[in-house]
Amino acid sequence: MESERALTGQVPTDLPPGLHSFRDWTVEKFVHLDEAPIDPAMQERHRIYSMLLMSIVLDSWNGNKYGEVGDYGQWRADQRMPQAANVYRGGSYLGHNIAALAVDAEGRVIDYDFNHNEIFDSSVEHAESRLVRRVFALNQVYDQWEGNGETRHRRIAAPDRQQRRVFATAVTDRGDRVTPRTPEKVASGYSTLLSDVTVYTSLESCAQCTGIMCLASVKEVVYLQPDAGQFLIGNIMRRATKAQSLSFTAPRPIPGKEIGLRYYSELTEGAEDFAARVRDEPFFQSPTKTNNSPSVTSYLCTDGAYRTFQSATVELSGWSSLEHPDYRPDRPESALSNRQVLGMAKDFLEYVKGVKNRGTSHRV
């Protein structure tokens, strides 16, 4: 192999064809995506959903990653119970403080979900992958189940309307046509069902979640905090899949800094500061355990992270004056305006508070 390289000056071509054009690229060039800048009005729209997501995380905040009894030092001093020195608010740890939200082509929230690693005693119960599976399942729940348009009994008129509302993505083509769903389309439509869906996730996606969103053809994923441990896998998969003629493309990764979300830099710097100091100032100590790992999920239990999520929640609840209130995407025609999105976001947060679960309907 070495001699072949020396003779031709090229890497032997055991690369799949879709990667040929990148054979001489640096890693830095490969992972740096040159996507179109986002319109300021669309940035504002993305910020509304981002702050809604942060408000949802705050509503189900749990920080007792290593139990509610012990010593989290100065990292969680504000979450300590006033009457007991080493007992902390929040009860049992259910999963990391990471959530994801799915929004359809019209701008309607489809659903949300949380990281549930702890509940399932598993390292793969991530918010985005749970959410994507859930949205596919919702499609089945709302699937037309009886007859056709002529013979359908009147009592299923409401579910039919729900279906259209929940799955605007499924009835909307990218072109001019808006095609009503038919049973035939439902049967073969899973590959494009989520192709107009935007996922908002509070932490940059891992390989598993990027893979699931890629296979699901999710349009784009907005993340509110980078996770250096995921080595820009979202960018890598976006670059690789866009270059090939595949039936699926990884979602466009959009970091919060591209939508003017100030909490992005707050969380980024907060996590960096945590990682730099936690070696000397342990995150958790008990008679049997000391943890001083620079883990981003530990940072997401700290008072500093809590305050950032709280600031976003306060900003959303007091947000009444938009810079682009009448903006709506070109398609579909039924898309909500930014003003409507803001109202819906506030309503949805009230709904989430009423649900009192880390995710809708399902109990965990």
Q: Where do contacts with Zn ion occur on this chain (CB under 5 A)?
A: 126, 206, 208-209
Alpha helices per DSSP H over 99-253: 117-120, 127-141, 157-166, 168-171, 183-188, 207-215, 233-242
Quote the least distance from Cβ 201 to Zn ion, whole Å.
Answer: 8
Alpha helices per DSSP H over 32-126: 40-59, 117-120
H/E element holding 3? helix 2-8
Quote the least distance from Cβ 76 to Zn ion, whole Å.
Answer: 24
CB nearer to Zn ion: give 45 or 126. 126
H/E element holding 220? strand 220-223
Quote the least distance from Cβ 212 to Zn ion, whole Å.
Answer: 8
CB nearer to Zn ion: give 112 or 142. 112
* 207 alpha-carbon distance from chain centroid: 13
Quote the least distance from Cβ 327 to Zn ion, whole Å.
Answer: 31
Quote the least distance from Cβ 135 to Zn ion, whole Å.
Answer: 16
CB nearer to Zn ion: give 208 or 285. 208
CB nearer to Zn ion: give 116 or 126. 126
CA distances from 355 to 146, 274, 348, 352, 359 (A): 30, 33, 10, 5, 8
Quote the least distance from Cβ 271 to Zn ion, whole Å.
Answer: 16
Give the C-alpha separation, 105 to 89, whole Å. Answer: 39
- Check: CB of residue 234 under 8 Å from CB of residue 204: yes
Kind of pairing, strands 252-255 and 220-223? parallel
CB nearer to Zn ion: give 199 or 261. 199
CB nearer to Zn ion: give 63 or 95. 95
DSSP state of 349: H
Angle between helices 338-355 and 40-59 (to 10 degrees): 10
